[in-house]
Amino acid sequence: NTLTNNRKGAGCKPDCDGKGGKHCKYWPAYLLRDYDMERAGRIGTKQPKKKLQHTLSESSSTATLSQKDPGSRRNSLNEGEAESDSESSSPAQKTVGLVVVGDEILKGQTADINTLAAAVALRENNVPLARVSIVSDDLDEIADEIRRMQGLCDAVITSGGVGPTHDDVTIKAIAMALGDELVLHQEMAELLIQKMGDKADDEQARMKMSTLPSTSRLRYLTDDPEEWPILQCGHNVFILPGVPQFFESKVKALATHLLSSDLERSVFYRVV
């Protein structure tokens, strides 16, 4: 579509000098037989590099990120190395689903900024955030969403609903989703006493926060001795706090470890 060898472009007027670029005169688009000719001669033949494309799933309103470039894998290429055109040798890319819990978000009382923090941290580590859902503080709804996400993504991150109050039901819902019993987690109980003290007034709150799904593990992902650990349940569910500044620091630490984690998607069978 560009002018070459001083010839007139397909969309040029008869009195065009054929020099191309700003010297040419063009018919308006509505007078052309083919509207694609309207920009003939104005754009170069060199096409821009393809960027990451965002596609929209036909069966869901959830945005998914399609990454075609094998050179985008974390630590896969050193600076200056040639990129391979073959994708067959690259391992399947792990994906993450985010479940944001909170009536206050659904009601518009609080802005959801944790989704942005998660998307940025995961993308920086070449782990696509494939799905995001926001659910209310309802036990069954949270459990159902965790099961659904586990079947669709390699890892599931939750945000919110993990405090000591009565409406913080995320941990109990995750136990339901995984088929775990709720048990007293001794390591968490000791950590809470260390962080909060052993005041009798706080005993009920400590008891609730240290009662966890039976498959729970405390994951320390930094060298900071003051760090609160990330709670991992089952094989691929990671429970993060809902407070934005705490969530952001935790999701950044977690994102750097997800590629090296042995994660597999869960498959659920319903007997009827």
pLDDT tens for the chain, 272 residues long, are: 444 444 455 555 566 655 555 555 555 555 555 545 545 444 444 554 444 444 333 333 343 333 334 333 333 323 333 333 333 334 567 899 999 999 999 999 999 999 999 999 999 999 999 999 999 999 999 999 999 999 999 999 999 998 888 778 999 999 999 999 999 999 999 999 998 888 877 888 889 999 999 999 999 988 888 888 999 999 999 999 999 999 999 999 999 988 765 554 444 333 33
Task: Name the 3-class secondary structure at 176.
Answer: helix
Rg of the chain on CA atoms, in Å: 27
CA atoms within 13 A on the CB side of 266: 19
| Distant-in-sequence, close-in-space partners of 138: CB < 8 Å, separation ≥ 6 | 169
Residues 163 and 182: their CA atoms lie apart, in Å, by 16
Distance of CA 259 to the CA centre of its chain: 13
Distance of CA 241 to the CA centre of its chain: 16
